[in-house]
A and B are shown apart, each in its own frame.
Chain A
Amino acid sequence: MQEQELVLASQRGDLNCFNRLVESYHALAYGVALRMLSNVQAAEDATQNAFLNAYRSIRQFRGGSFRAWLLRIVANACHDQMRAHYRHPATSLEANLSNPDGTAAVIPDGEESPEDYALRRELGRVIMEGIDTLPDEQRWVVVLSDVEGLSYEEIATVTSSSIGTVKSRLNRGRARLRDYLLCHEELLPQSFRLCK
């Protein structure tokens, strides 16, 4: 079934169809929540609450980008978690990249060497630390645009702001992250270091 048909069936109360939507978007929703909250437990709670709220309010979806509509609900759930003081400092970022049983939560690329994989993990940790230093409104647009690949229009829907505001915040967020990464240039790829 196509996404539109799944949405219509969910609006008629078909829980099985909605769960298929959940399976399609659960990695995206969880990834956004994790990048924003920097805490595995909080991200799981926010994601679960977001899908429950989405099922209860799916009749209010009037078309357009279902992804943006869903991520707006995820954003609200993340705000609720933040208000409940679930945001932890960057020291918990290591938990982002591994499961409690020690297995890696990062999906390895089948063609890269173990050394490259380790380097990529370390770089990922530094980038996550840099994202964590951004103010909330800049962090949202950077994660949604550059990590998850949403368009400006979708980001404007998720953050309830104008496209001009999205552009401005994205510009400032990227510049700020660039400044942070230049402090750890030993981890940066050659192409980055050549830009100095």
Chain B
Amino acid sequence: MTNEALKSREENNQLILDSLIDQAIFLLDSGGYVLSWNAGAEKIKGYLQSEVIGKSFSMFYPVDDVKNGKPVRDLRIAETEGRFEEEANHFRKDGSKFWASVSIFAIRDENAHTKAFVRVVRDISRARDDALALTKARELLEARVNERTKDLLRSNTELEQFAYIASHDLQTPLRHISSYVQLLTSKIRKTTVLDERTEKWVEYILSGTKQMKSLILDLLTYSRIGRVDIKVEEIDVLKLLAHVADEVREPIRVTQAKIVYDELPMIVGIRSQIEQLFQNLIENALKFKKSEIDPLVTIKCQDHGEFWMFSVSDNGIGIDSKYFERIFLMFHRLHSTDEYAGTGIGLAICKKIVEFHGGKIWVESTLGEGTVFSFILPKKERVTLTTLAKESMEAS
């Protein structure tokens, strides 16, 4: 190569080196003395070229490291393995510390002897600070989430106490009204014959108190879903339905109902809620039967990949399609209380249970022919509570 070509190559190399302004790249001889310096080295380490050329590179190490022989060790590692890499604290000329990423590469000659080293130092304090800040922010966030969860659990407990006491304390005066009306009428009947109209009035009062009691209990049930009893387990639906049929055996006997089901799977969920779900649907099917026809309730299940799809169908009076959405709302009834007893919360409870399990419920029906309630339940537990909340509740 001509001298000019050589000179221009050297200039080019220097241009390249100086453009890498965020990296200190310099040569060391085999003894660790500085042979070259680049603009990046000036910037990162704070030394001018004139201050470092010919000096030992151990000047960049902390005093203790030098005493321990670290610089020499690092070079030896580079020599034997070809490269040395580490992240450590390094010092600038003004004494300030920075977190550095250091690499030392050995340059070997034709005989594989190390004749020089290339040392590359990068200032990664920013990256490290960012990482630390991120960790801190995450810890702060988790602490806040834990606080909020604790608050939520506390207010859940308060809510449960409130709900229990409210329902309890509301039932006492109800009991008094009911009992004393009966005592009153007994007393009056001893001396006076009550006519049909008056007897009807008494009946209105008593059924009013019964209705209120049902409402209070149903509201308590509704408010409890998702707050109390959240133990998720495997449920054998066949066994569960046998249990439900037992709970509902009086209405079944009275209406001469038949409940039919074939193969039903094992599912994952909260047992008491799933029981309540099926019980409400079956009770409804029995309640809204056609007057002259014995109810037939059919329960089926289809495998839908990630979901089980259940259907509870009956041969009852059916529901007008314009009410398909409304019936799942609280207190929405399609019939008066003297036609059909009930509080109007049953289906709202069903909906809350299904949705709490991560599923959906809907209805199809033809007026005068029958109704099908369908709901999907995810096969894998998808109960909507954070793990922390669940753990805390299970622990208490």
Do A and B pair up? The answer is no
Question: Which A positions have Cβ atoms within 8 angstroms of B?
Answer: none
